[in-house]
């Protein structure tokens, strides 16, 4: 199999994206990062990608919501997801109704690295049909704090004495949010009286290790599957 192609979805700072970029540069990850797509035009991760000459694309929900009555947002969100899948598979929003750009590359793996939007069936189904794997980094243990603000919620539960352990995981992306099969779980102890900032710093450090190790595991599975089918 030629070098696997990875596309990374981001929404913000991109520190997890940077961890992958650095690991590819150090050849810890054997893959080519073909594109970074951000759900925000202001994401610093876009600058990180450009600094490493990685093509970027901005795909924002607010462009779909612009001037829409609130009641029309669910339909627009479905279109956002459908267009995102087409952009990744065909290189354009129209899908195979339009021609695919000559230089378009389809990824073998999509990594959600700080991607803050729920990926709907309109996105997941076409990618499943194309057999493109998707993994997500989530800063909590399986089933512990699904959804947003997981780090804050874990810290609060720790300070309230409800839990003594939290963690981060890299899991396969399925329809149910943050509920796919974990590829990798890393635990972290909660420390009484520790500030949220200090806890957050420890979690992000663990994320940067987990996102690299999780990507390696996913790529190994993909490579083995392709070798079997060849």
Alpha-helical (H) ranges within 29-119 are 44-51, 61-65, 73-90
Residue 38 sits in the site that holds ligand GRF (CB under 6 A): no
Query: Of residues 4, 7, 8, 12, which one binds ligand GRF by CB under 6 A?
Result: 12
Helix (H) or strand (E) holding 123: helix 121-129
Residue nearest to ligand GRF (CB): 114
Q: Which of 59, 104, 138, 149 is catalytic?
A: 138
Residue 15 sits in the site that holds ligand GRF (CB under 6 A): yes
- Which tokens in the block code for residue 185? 């779980």
15 or 144, CB closer to ligand GRF?
A: 15
Query: Of residues 126, 207, 212, 214, which one binds ligand GRF by CB under 6 A?
Result: 207
Task: From residue 102, give the alpha-carbon distance in Å to each of 34, 80, 99, 149, 190.
Answer: 14, 24, 9, 40, 51
Contacts of 156 (CB under 8 A, 6+ apart): none
Q: Give least dist CB 199 to ligand GRF, A.
A: 12
Q: Give least dist CB 43 to ligand GRF, A.
A: 7
User: In whole angstroms, what is the distance from residue 64 CA to residue 77 CA?
Assistant: 7
Q: Report CA dihedral (120, 157, 45, 112) to the nearest 10 degrees.
A: -30
Q: Give least dist CB 2 to ligand GRF, A.
A: 27
Stretch that binds ligand GRF, among 25-33, 61-69, 95-103, 110-118 (CB under 6 A): 110-118
- Told to judge if 138 belongs to the known catalytic residues of this protein, a careful annotator would answer yes
Q: What phi, psi does 140 have (nearest 5°)?
A: -160, 170
Which sequence positions are flagged as catalytic? 138
Q: Contact positions toward ligand GRF, by CB under 6 A?
A: 10, 12-17, 45, 113-114, 116, 137, 139, 151, 207
């Amino acid at each position: 199999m030629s070098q696997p192609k990875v596309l990374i979805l981001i929404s913000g700072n991109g520190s997890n994206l940077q961890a992958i970029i650095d690991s590819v540069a150090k050849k810890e990850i054997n893959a080519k990062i073909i594109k970074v797509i951000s759900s925000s035009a202001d994401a610093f991760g876009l600058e990180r990608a450009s600094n490493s000459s990685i093509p970027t694309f901005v795909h924002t929900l607010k462009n779909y919501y612009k001037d829409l009555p609130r009641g029309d947002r669910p339909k627009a969100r479905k279109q956002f997801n459908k267009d995102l899948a087409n952009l990744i598979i065909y290189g354009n929003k129209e899908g195979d109704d339009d021609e695919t750009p000559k230089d378009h590359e389809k990824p073998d793996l999509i990594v959600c690295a700080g991607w803050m939007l729920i990926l709907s069936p309109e996105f997941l189904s076409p990618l499943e049909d194309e057999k493109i794997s998707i993994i997500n980094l989530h800063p909590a243990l399986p089933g512990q704090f699904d959804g947003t603000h997981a780090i804050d919620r874990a810290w609060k539960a720790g300070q309230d004495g409800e839990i003594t352990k939290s963690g981060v995981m890299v899991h396969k992306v399925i329809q149910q949010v943050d509920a796919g099969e974990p590829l990798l779980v890393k635990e972290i102890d909660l420390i009484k009286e520790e500030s949220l900032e200090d806890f957050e710093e420890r979690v992000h450090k663990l994320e940067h290790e987990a996102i690299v190790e999780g990507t390696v595991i996913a790529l190994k599975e993909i490579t083995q599957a392709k070798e079997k089918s060849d």
